[in-house]
Structure 1
Amino acid sequence: MELTEASARLEIQQQLANYANGVDSGDWELYKSVFTADADIDYTASLPLRGTPAEIVATFEPVFRDISWTQHYITNTSFRFEGDECQVRAFFHNPCVLPGVEGTAHHYGYYDHRFVQTEHGWKSAHMVETMLHREITGNTQPAVTATSSGAA
């Protein structure tokens, strides 16, 4: 692997982390920064939703306010470079607590991205979510609640 490809992989991996962190924290500017402004984002495998980053955020922002917590795990990332583009598949597990649902919802699947090299770095120009499995499990109470003690 050449240094430029290694560097691109790291940048794209960071973009996948930005995607997860943006959604999970409700930082919609961070979420949008993963994509080109005109990216085609397709969630139709799980939701009747497809659009540009701005259109997706307009739908997600009010919906995610009512989700008490969500945490994306993005793993098993594969890369296929073709010039200034990279096809990426990244698997996900997304446990969350949805409004009106008893228990924790678990979503499993993968994201297929077409990343392109832009003047602002690697950005996703196209993303398709494929849902492989969903289930609701047990109690939503955490075993341990994180607190900030101020200790280092």
Structure 2
Amino acid sequence: MTLQTLSDRIEINDLLISYCTAVDSGNIDRFDEIFTPDAIIDYSVFGFDRAGLQATKQFLKQSLPAVPNKQHMISNSEVFLDGDRATARTLCFNPMAVPLESGGYQMTYYHLWYVDRLVRTDKGWRISERVEEKSHIFTAEGVIS
């Protein structure tokens, strides 16, 4: 393994983490540093759209305020490098707590993989396509603090 390969893997790993941090913090404009301008982001497996970067940013800015408690935790990333291109498949565990009108929260636990195509740009690695692949969903109702 070369130093360039190690560097690429670290940069890609940091990019994948940056996506999770951007979503969880609500800093969706940070997507401009994570995705290529022409990126396709496919959330259709969970009933949402397959869309470009700007439409996805708009959708998340409108929908995420309804989900104040969320965490995107990733692991088990497989990254395959091919020059200035790469693919990655990363496990994600995403618990979300949505407030109920009656009090308490609806807890939904998404178990999925991110399947990414990445490209090296003059600004570093960027995701050019992200497809969510569902494993399973678990839902529970209860009170959390």
**Residue matched to 2:68:** 68
Q: Output the TM-score relative to the length of structure 2.
A: 0.92
Q: What are the ranges of 5 or more consecutive residues in structure 2 without an aligned counterpart?
A: none
Distance 1:25 1:140, change over 3 A: farther
- Of Structure 1 and Structure 2, which has the larger fraction of its residues in helix? 2
Query: Hey, which bits of structure 1, 4+ residues long, moved more than 6 A?
Result: none
**Residue matched to 1:117:** 120
For 1:31 and 1:73, the matched residues in 2 are separated by 17
For 2:105 and 2:24, the matched residues in 1 are separated by 20
**Residue matched to 2:109:** 106
**Residue matched to 1:4:** 4
- Superposed counterparts of 1:1-152, under 5 Å: 1-100=1-100, 102-142=105-145
CA RMSD between the two structures = 1.5
- 1:113–1:124: 8 Å Cα contact kept in structure 2? yes
Distance 1:32 1:99, change over 3 A: farther
Query: How far 1:48 moved relative to its partner?
Result: 2.7
Q: Output the TM-score relative to the length of structure 1.
A: 0.88
Report Cα offsets for 1:6-57 as digits up to 9, x if no partner. 0011111111111000000100122332100100111111123111111101
Distance 1:140 1:52, change over 3 A: farther
- 2:119–2:125: 8 Å Cα contact kept in structure 1? yes
- For 1:135, the aligned partner's letter is F
Query: How far 1:102 moved relative to its partner?
Result: 4.0
- 1:97–1:140: 8 Å Cα contact kept in structure 2? no
For 1:72 and 1:5, the matched residues in 2 are separated by 26
- Of Structure 1 and Structure 2, which has the larger fraction of its residues in strand? 2
Q: What are the ranges of 5 or more consecutive residues in structure 1 without an aligned counterpart?
A: 143-152
